[in-house]
């Protein structure tokens, strides 16, 4: 007799799941037994030959169904508050409840801060940060109501997508780095707010070769044999684990994942503390304590943790 799959009986929403990371994540959740709502903003179109083609979300949902799983497609915009609510409701309506939310949808509009337009800033913040909030807000309300009705904890998992661009302070991505940093703040706040309802919220910083990052990793060749170190499948397995009952004690965490490696990022810690010898600091007193503290720091060192970019499987 075969053992039940880890996510059997659970339902999930994966945003930005028509291609790349989201697609791999949706397929992995389905492989582990979850019923999946595959979200990707975009309608049916035509391929290179002019023939009609299905929307990316529907193609992935059909792939899951063909493998024996349960899935439906949703082509709404998660950055639109109402459409994000409709996405969550589609899972509840189809599968009776929502158990897992994987926020992945995103775009890039890279430019140096002195060249960035308002539209380039707004669009990235809207899709990444607002999109994460929108779906989280509706899912959180669903779990809170279920918990009140049940008189106790329910099952809920959120996996959000941050980025090493936030950790390392990517110079050419001020909009993207800011949005991804905001997602970490949203994740830790959500983790604390929903813990009493049985819900966990964690964030990952994935590195993968996708359509969105094809220019970033264009210089890195794919191996002739074996799995590409930048394959989305390396990320999908961690998402599947964080969505499972086995990860119940993992909450409010940030993990870097790629190429067969998972790194747990430590929370910020206070490196130094200075107390004024008077009622309040003066300019001279601040110079006397902060000046020496930073005098011997390496040139260019900031709060950013650029060393994460050097992490690889050992």
Given the residues 11, 130, 155, 176, select the one marked as catalytic: 176
Q: How far apart are CA 180 and CA 204, in angstroms?
A: 10
Per-residue b or e along 84-115, where b marks 16 or more CB atoms closer than 10 Å to that residue's CB: bbebbebbbeebeebbbbbbbbbbbbbeeeee
Cβ atoms within 10 Å of 148's Cβ, excluding its own: 11
Sequence-ordered list of residues with C-beta below 8 angstroms from that of 68, at least 6 positions apart, any chain: none
115 is catalytic: no
138, 147, 180, 197: which one is catalytic? 180
* Residue from 90, 162, 163, 170 carrying the catalytic annotation: 163
| Whole-number Å distance between alpha carbons of 170 and 178 | 10
* Residues whose CB is less than 8 angstroms from the CB of residue 208 and which lie 6 or more positions away in sequence, other chains included: 20, 21, 24, 230, 231, 232, 234, 235, 258
Long-range contacts of 65-73 (CB under 8 A, 24+ apart): 67/30, 67/31, 69/30, 69/31, 69/35, 69/36, 70/30, 70/35, 70/36, 70/95, 71/26, 71/30, 71/35, 71/36, 71/37, 71/38, 72/37, 72/38, 73/37, 73/38, 73/39, 73/40
- Please answer whether residues 192 and 136 qualify as being in contact, where contact means their C-beta atoms are separated by less than 8 angstroms: no
To the query of whether residue 11 is one of the catalytic residues in this protein, the response is: no
Q: Which of 120, 22, 158, 137 is nearest to 80 (CA)?
A: 137
Tokens of 286: 């601040």
- Per the annotation, the verdict on 163 as an active-site residue is yes
Catalytically active residues, by annotation: 163, 176, 180
């Amino acid at each position: 007799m075969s053992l039940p799959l880890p996510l059997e009986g659970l339902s999930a929403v994966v945003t930005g799941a028509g291609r790349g990371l989201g697609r791999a994540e949706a397929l992995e959740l389905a492989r582990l037994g979850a019923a999946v709502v595959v979200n990707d903003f975009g309608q049916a179109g035509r391929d290179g030959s002019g023939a009609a083609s299905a929307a990316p979300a529907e193609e992935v949902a059909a792939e899951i169904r063909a493998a024996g799983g349960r899935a439906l497609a949703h082509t709404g915009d998660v950055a639109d508050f109402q459409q994000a609510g409709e996405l969550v409701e589609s899972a509840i309506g189809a599968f009776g409840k929502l158990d897992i939310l994987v926020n992945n949808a995103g775009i890039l509009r890279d430019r140096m801060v002195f060249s960035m337009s308002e539209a380039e800033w707004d669009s990235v913040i809207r899709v990444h940060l607002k999109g994460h909030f929108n779906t989280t807000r509706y899912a959180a309300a669903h779990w809170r109501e279920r918990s009140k009705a049940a008189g106790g904890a329910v099952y809920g998992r959120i996996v959000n997508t941050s980025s090493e661009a936030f950790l390392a302070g990517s110079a050419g991505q001020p909009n993207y780095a800011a949005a991804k940093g905001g997602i970490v703040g949203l994740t830790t706040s959500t983790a604390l707010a929903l813990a009493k309802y049985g819900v966990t919220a964690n964030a990952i910083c994935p590195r993968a070769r996708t359509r969105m990052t094809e220019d970033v990793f264009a210089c890195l060749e794919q191996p002739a044999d074996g799995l590409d170190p930048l394959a989305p499948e390396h990320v999908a397995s961690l998402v599947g684990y964080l969505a499972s009952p086995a990860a119940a004690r993992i909450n409010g965490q940030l993990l870097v994942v790629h190429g067969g490696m998972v790194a747990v990022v430590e929370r910020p810690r206070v490196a130094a503390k200075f107390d004024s010898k008077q009622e309040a600091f003066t300019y001279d007193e601040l110079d006397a304590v902060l000046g020496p503290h930073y005098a011997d720091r390496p040139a260019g060192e900031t709060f950013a943790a650029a060393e994460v970019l050097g992490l690889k499987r050992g």
